[in-house]
Amino acid sequence: MTYEEFADTRLAPLLRYAVMLTGDPHQAQDLVQETMVRVQLNWRRVAHADSPERYVRRMLTNQYVDWKRGSWMRRVLLRGDPDESLPASVDHAQSAVDRDQIWTWLSRLPRRQRATLVLRYYEDLPDAEIADILGCAVGTVRSSISRALATLRAEYVEVRS
Amino acid sequence: MIEDDLRAAFVRHEPLAPPTGPLRAAIDRLTIRRRRRRRRWQAGGTALALLAVLVLGVPLLTPEPAGPPPTAELLSESGRPAPTGALNVLLLGIDGAGPEGARADAVLLVHIPADRSRPYLVSLPRDLGVPIPGQGTDKLNAAFPFGAGFTRPEMTKGYELTRRTVTELTGVRVDAGMVLTYRAVRSLTDAVGGVPACLPEAVRSVHTKRLFPAGCHRLDGAASVDLLRQRYGLPAGTQDRDRNARVFAAGLVRQAADQGVLTDPVRLAKLLTIVGPDLVVSPDRGAVLDLLRLVPTLRSVDPVGLSLPVAGLLEKDRYLRTDPKLAPEFLTALREDRLGDWTARYPKLVDSAR
């Protein structure tokens, strides 16, 4: 497989995956761009992997989890939680706002936990593959998913009460 | 139930994903820029390494009995400090397989500035009329056969007279030198797996009828030699050939760097055994080892291709003359190690990078 063939078919799904990870189209673009530049520079090694697709997803996920660069951190901190102040007065929109609150809560999760949620509930990957992508044990994947879900449930309870 | 909400939230946000077209273009642009930066890094740092390594091949060939393989010396530390100040290495490309009737088709001065910024490849036109010590005025390329002698020609003597001629012409000290035959060029090119070269205009070989279209090529050993021999039919004759030789030399350095040949002692030693027998080098091996130690101090940039400015037309005159206005300025810049200023002032006289 050539890099061009790979990009033809995989760029769009990777971009969607990055949107789910970051929750933001611009950050997703940055993340995918940085990863794909490295993919292209090291294409021979990527192409030799058992599954180039999984190899690249792993690169991108690690990039997301480890991204410590100043610009990235600053942007995350500046983001704040604007959605919380959304007026929730219109009744028929109430359920939509409820659901979008999930999106806000997701952004507060540690990046690793968010990645596990995306991989299981958006990409529908089995736990073993998630563990492979994150480079950890299957047990760690499960515990981190249950912790993330517990956090989200707590938020639910808080809003309802 | 929260799981279902999560799934729904993800799917609902799918439209957030931006279009891939502009992103893909940005990725390609950035990749090219980084690849270029990386290559320049490697090429610049190793430009001299290649030369020094080639020069090291000499001992294999000089009259003295073959000593230990040069790789041993290459890897061992020696007490001499790395040279400081600007350095000039003289490269002669010789036509023919041996010294018999050989003339210097290409006379190339490699200038390493004192700030170690980047190597400069300076061609001296072989048809330039110059005073040759003890021989009166003749073409520069005649210095080699005059020096080598005609009854039992010796390459080292041909090199020596050319070196003295070049020193008188330019006023710069030549610190080391090397004589390359076409056969050495061919084996070297094949040993590094071909050399990339971009030609500004098409070249038709009068020897093999092969056409080299304008644009970028990957040349194997035979094609390289074929290309380097061509001067008839080129708009500016030998000056265009000199330019092709500079383009080729820069490509050779890049290729060797890309292949990692220069950082791998095993491949290096192999290369030396392939090319060694076709090389002749200046007798001072110490200077050569000094050159090698200088390599890590080089900042990394591609070689810059230049030519000594000349005037006159071969159809009309017997020799080319140095350009009365530009040549003195150029030679002063070369002597005073200010070629950077020169290239900034006359960008049109610099070979385009690739």
Touching check for B37 and chain A: CB below 8 Å?
no
Nearest to A15 among B23, B31, B35 (CB): B23
- Check whether A4 has a pLDDT greater than 80: yes
Residue B29 lies in a domain: no
Range of the domain at B245: 42-349
Structure confidence at residue A148 (pLDDT): 92
User: Beta-carbon neighbour count of residue B202 at 10 Å?
Assistant: 12
Q: What is the dihedral of CA B36, B42, B47, B49, to 10 degrees?
A: -170
Instruction: Average the pLDDT over B211-232 and give the result.
Output: 85
Q: Looking at chain B, which residue has its C-alpha nearest residue A97? A: B9
User: Beta-carbon neighbour count of residue B235 at 10 Å?
Assistant: 7
Q: How far apart are the first and last CA of chain B?
A: 61
Residue B183 lies in a domain: yes
pLDDT digits (tens, 9 = 90+) for A76-133: 444 444 444 334 344 444 555 555 788 888 888 888 999 999 999 999 999 999 999 9
CATH assignment of the domain containing B252: 3.40.630.190
Instruction: Average the pLDDT over B316-325 and give the result.
Output: 78
Structure confidence at residue A69 (pLDDT): 47
Touching check for B76 and chain A: CB below 8 Å?
no
Core vs surface per residue B286-310: b (16+ CB within 10 A) or e: ebbbbbbebbeebebbbbbbbbbbb
- Tell me the pLDDT band of A149, cut-offs 50, 70 and 90: very high
Q: Which of A75-89, B148-162, B218-232 has the highest mean pLDDT?
A: B218-232
Nearest to A117 among B6, B18, B35 (CB): B6
- Tell me the pLDDT band of A56, cut-offs 50, 70 and 90: very high
Structure confidence at residue A19 (pLDDT): 92
pTM of the full structure: 0.51
Residue B339 lies in a domain: yes
pLDDT digits (tens, 9 = 90+) for B38-70: 766 555 445 555 665 555 433 333 333 333 344
Which ipTM did the prediction report?
A: 0.79
CATH number of A1-79: 1.10.1740.10
Interchain CB distance below 8 Å, B24 and A16: no
Which residue ranges make up each domain of chain A? Answer: 1-79, 82-161
Structure confidence at residue A89 (pLDDT): 40
Rounded to a whole number, what is the distance in Å from the CA of A75 to chain B's nearest CA?
18
Structure confidence at residue A16 (pLDDT): 93
> Counting beta carbons within 10 angstroms of the beta carbon of residue B238, is it exposed (0 to 12), middle (13 to 18) or buried (19 or more)?
buried
Rounded to a whole number, what is the distance in Å from the CA of A33 to chain B's nearest CA?
6
Touching check for B18 and chain A: CB below 8 Å?
yes
- Of residues B316 and B333, the one with the higher pLDDT is B333
Which residue in this structure is represented by tokens 């030679």?
Answer: B331
pLDDT digits (tens, 9 = 90+) for B269-286: 566 666 655 555 555 555
Nearest to A16 among B2, B14, B27 (CB): B14
Residues of A with CB under 8 A from a CB of B: 7, 11-12, 15-16, 19-20, 23-25, 28-29, 32-33, 36-37, 40-41, 99-100, 102-103, 106, 117-118, 121-122, 149, 152-153, 156
Nearest to A28 among B17, B24, B38 (CB): B17
Of A88-92, A136-140, B127-131, the range with the lowest mean pLDDT is: A88-92
- Which among A5, A8, A37 is the top mutation candidate for probing chain B, defined by the most B β-carbons within 10 Å of its own β-carbon? A37
Residue B172 lies in a domain: yes
Residues 6+ apart with CB under 8 A from B63: none
Nearest to A19 among B8, B17, B31 (CB): B17
The total number of structural domains that make up chain B: 1
Is A82-161 assigned to CATH 1.10.10.10?
Answer: yes
